[in-house]
């Protein structure tokens, strides 16, 4: 069931975490001696310094480097006293990135210049000649504010992801013999930091495994970010994974942190990896090889330290042989492979899983005493479970709602059956349940192929997609 892949397969390099990088300050001033003095002062204080002697040079540096703060003079050679060139530069920096703090340096006694700069968006000002301690304190305050702002944005995006995801499900019920090697492998690889590929049919618990691996690793205190990487359109893919900067495209109203950066220091779960188009595979591979990425619309390089756990129900070796999946990407992803058996091959787990879900739903619906009748349990054991653990979970929830007393009967389970009996059940189902059922059947018949399933159902592809989203049906391709 479990096949560790060669130990020598390459894994994601571990570049220094972006969070540990010292802040980078761009100092812009046209006087070389001023630049040098500031460079030494700031470097001694542990900051990374890049310098520029002209407004054009400053803008070019901002394009290329990941700068956290700008310290800029207001006066440049072309226009030494009015400060207008400096104000222009300030405006252009703000247009590029309004969240980037700018501290201006003004000539001694030039209060109007300082006031104008503050009006134009500078966060603070220092007068020349500067006082070292005060200057450093000013810069530190602004850098702290920026860090706090970035952190709160990041938390906000993480929360959105958690809300979109399934919470922190860490329980894995798995007592069956066929699940023992899986459990042992998870325990062994979780702390190793190696990239893991989890394979198995839909609903077998691949995401549960990914969360367990994250929970058992040294990264457990950092984010676990799950993304359905096989379901992203070409336009959304890069923005979702690598982020974008404001103005990168029409709808980019503000900067967005991508999943890779959200998972920095933690684990990125790439679900449905086998459905990723080749063009997206190439972009993903580049980031896995270098640990570096560019948000859409930015030329700045960002470094990330991410462990990748991916999942698929597709036979990737076959996909490689058929030219649908890159072999080099597969080697990056499957340093270790965990294969999850379908539920029909681990029937011993069915009673335990059913009891687990019954207890969970009992808590949810305030019915802690609901139990399965022995006929209901027999029916569960006899059923084929094409939808695996997810289908069992839904069946138990539905049964909890159907059961009139504290005992769930076989009838309450509404298990799908062919023939006349199935039709009788159909009559008892709601319209939505029937629709969902037919969609699932069509997808199963066409091995998850949405175009084919849509044709079979007499729907357009987009109409079927809308319904898949509405019913939360996964696994279509
Ligand atoms: N061993 C298990 N113990 C407890 N709950 C489980 C187990 N396996 C799966 N589940 C539950 O079943 C549901 C489906 O699991 P999960 O989403 O991990 O499956 P999956 O294989 O990733 O599905 P898909 O292929 O559709 O993405 C989830 O609600 C999960 O919590």
- The full DSSP string for 364-378 is HTT-TT-EE-HHHHH
pLDDT of residue 138: 94
Ligand 1 atom with minimal separation from the 340 CA: 21
Q: Report residues whose beta carbon is within 6 angstroms of any ligand 1 atom.
A: 169, 171-174, 200, 202-208, 271, 311, 313, 353, 356, 389-390, 393, 474-475
C-alpha span between 185 and 179 (Å, rounded):
10
Distances (CA, A) of 335 to 123, 210, 328: 48, 14, 12
Residue 391 has pLDDT above 90, yes or no: yes
Ligand 1 atom having least distance to the Cα of 166: 29
Question: How is domain 165-339 classified at the CATH fold level?
Answer: Rossmann fold (3.40.50)
Which pLDDT belongs to residue 477? 75
Q: Which residue matches tokens 């997206």? A: 280
Tell me the pLDDT tens digit for each residue of 15-27: 334 445 789 999 9
Residue whose CB lies within 8 A of the most ligand 1 atoms, among 1, 390, 474, for a mutation test: 390
* Span 122-138, average pLDDT: 93
Residue listed under structure tokens 């006694």:
109
Mean pLDDT of 231-257: 87
State mean pLDDT over 51-65: 92
Q: Given this model, what pLDDT does residue 353 score?
A: 93
Structural tokens at position 335 = 């340093």
Average pLDDT value for residue range 210-236: 91
Assign 426 a pLDDT band (cuts: 50, 70, 90). Answer: low
* 422 C-alpha to ligand 1 centroid (Å): 26
Q: What are the CA-CA distances from residue 11 to residues 75, 276, 328 (Å)?
A: 50, 20, 11
- pLDDT at position 33: 94
Tokens coding 435: 């629709």
What is the CA(308)–ligand 1 centre distance, in A?
Answer: 19
Q: What is the predicted ipTM?
A: 0.98
Classified by CATH at the fold level, domain 343-410 comes out as: Helicase, Ruva Protein; domain 3 (1.10.8)
Q: Is 9 a residue whose pLDDT tops 60? A: no
Output the CA 206–ligand 1 centroid distance in Å.
6
Angle at 264 between CA 259 and CA 268, to 5 degrees: 50
Residue 351 clears pLDDT 60, i.e. is over it? yes
pLDDT tier at 82 (50, 70, 90 boundaries)? low
Residue 244, class by beta-carbon neighbours within 10 Å (0-12 exposed, 13-18 middle, 19+ buried)? buried
What stretches of 339-475 show up as alpha helix (H) in DSSP?
A: 349-364, 374-382, 388-402, 419-428, 431-445, 450-457, 461-471
Q: Which of 167, 176, 207 to mutate to test the pocket of ligand 1 (most atoms within 8 A of CB)?
A: 207
Over residues 440-469, mean pLDDT? 87
337 beta partners: 3, 197
Q: 416-477: which CATH number, 1.10.150, 2.60.40, 1.10.10, 1.25.40?
A: 1.10.10
Residue 92 makes CB contacts below 8 A (sequence gap 6+) with 55, 59
CA-based nearest residue to 231, from 443, 473, 437: 473
pLDDT of residue 4: 34
How confident is the model at residue 21, as a pLDDT? 78
Q: Where does residue 405 rank: exposed (0-12), middle (13-18), buried (19+ CB within 10 A)?
A: exposed
Q: Which is nearest to 306 in space by CA: 336, 269, 334, 267?
A: 267
Give the DSSP H or E segment for 33: helix 32-44
CA atoms of 269 and 200, how far apart (whole Å): 15
Q: Is it true that 22-152 and 165-339 share their CATH fold?
A: yes
Q: Is the pLDDT of residue 405 over 80?
A: yes
Q: Would you say residue 162 has pLDDT above 70? A: no
The tokens for 327 are 């072999």
| Residue 129 preceded by cis peptide, ω within 30 | yes
Work out the average pLDDT over 246-267: 89
Please determine, for residue 190, whether its predicted confidence score (pLDDT) is greater than 80.
yes
Query: Residue 424: which pLDDT band, with cuts at 50, 70 and 90?
Result: very low
**How far apart, in whole angstroms, are the C-alpha atoms of residue 142 and residue 121?**
13
Residue 153 has pLDDT above 90, yes or no: no
Candidate from 208, 338, 344 with most ligand 1 atoms within 8 A of CB, to mutate? 208
- Confidence at 211, pLDDT banded by 50, 70, 90: very high
Region 375-389: mean pLDDT is 89
For 22-152, CATH gives 3.40.50.2300
Span 247-262, average pLDDT: 87
Residue whose token pair is 């040294």: 218
Instruction: Provide the mean pLDDT of the chain.
Output: 86
Tell me the domain boundaries of the chain. 22-152, 165-339, 343-410, 416-477
pLDDT tens per residue across span 169-182: 567 898 888 899 99
- Alpha helices by DSSP H, 67-205: 84-96, 111-119, 132-164, 180-189
Task: Tell me the pTM.
Answer: 0.65
């Amino acid at each position: 069931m479990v096949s560790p892949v060669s130990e020598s397969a390459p894994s994601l390099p571990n570049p220094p975490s972006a969070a540990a990088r010292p802040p980078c300050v761009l100092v812009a001033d046209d006087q070389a001696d001023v630049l040098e003095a500031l460079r030494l002062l700031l470097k001694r204080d542990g900051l990374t310094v890049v310098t520029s002697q002209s407004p054009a040079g400053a803008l070019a540096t901002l394009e290329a480097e990941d700068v956290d703060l700008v310290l800029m003079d207001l006066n440049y050679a072309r226009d030494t006293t009015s400060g207008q060139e400096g104000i222009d530069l300030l405006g252009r920096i703000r247009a590029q990135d309004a969240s980037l703090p700018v501290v201006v340096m003004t000539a001694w006694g030039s209060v109007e210049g300082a006031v104008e700069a503050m009006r134009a968006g500078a966060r603070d000002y220092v007068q020349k000649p500067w006082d070292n301690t005060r200057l450093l304190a000013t810069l530190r305050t602004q850098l702290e504010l920026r860090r706090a702002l970035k952190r709160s944005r990041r938390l906000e995006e993480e929360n959105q992801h958690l809300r979109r995801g399934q919470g922190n499900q860490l329980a894995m019920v798995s007592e069956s013999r066929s699940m023992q090697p899986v459990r042992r492998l998870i325990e062994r690889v979780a702390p190793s930091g190696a990239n893991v590929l989890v394979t198995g049919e839909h609903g077998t618990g691949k995401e549960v495994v990914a969360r367990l691996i994250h929970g058992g690793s040294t990264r457990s205190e950092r984010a676990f970010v799950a993304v359905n990487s096989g379901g992203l359109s070409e336009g959304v893919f890069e923005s979702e994974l690598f982020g974008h900067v404001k103005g990168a495209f029409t709808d980019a109203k503000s900067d967005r942190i991508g999943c890779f950066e959200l998972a920095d220091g933690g684990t990125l779960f790439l679900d449905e990896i086998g459905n990723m188009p080749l063009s997206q595979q190439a972009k993903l591979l580049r980031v896995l090889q270098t640990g570096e990425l560019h948000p859409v619309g930015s030329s700045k390089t960002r470094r990330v330290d991410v462990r990748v756990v991916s999942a698929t129900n597709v036979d990737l070796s076959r996909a490689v042989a058929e030219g649908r999946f890159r072999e080099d990407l597969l080697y990056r992803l499957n340093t270790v492979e965990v294969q999850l058996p379908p539920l029909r091959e681990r029937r011993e787990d069915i009673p335990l899983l059913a009891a687990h879900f019954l207890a969970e739903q009992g808590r949810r619906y305030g019915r802690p005493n609901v139990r399965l009748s022995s006929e209901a349990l027999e029916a569960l054991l006899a059923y084929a479970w094409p939808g695996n653990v997810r289908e069992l979970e839904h069946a138990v929830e539905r049964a909890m709602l159907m059961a009139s007393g504290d005992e769930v009967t076989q009838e309450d389970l509404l298990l799908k059956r062919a023939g006349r009996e199935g039709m009788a059940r159909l009559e008892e189902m709601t319209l939505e349940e029937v629709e969902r059922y037919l969609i699932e059947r069509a997808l199963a018949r066409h091995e998850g192929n949405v175009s084919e399933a849509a044709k079979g159902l007499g729907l357009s592809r987009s109409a079927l997609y809308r319904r898949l989203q509405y019913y939360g049906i996964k696994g279509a391709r």
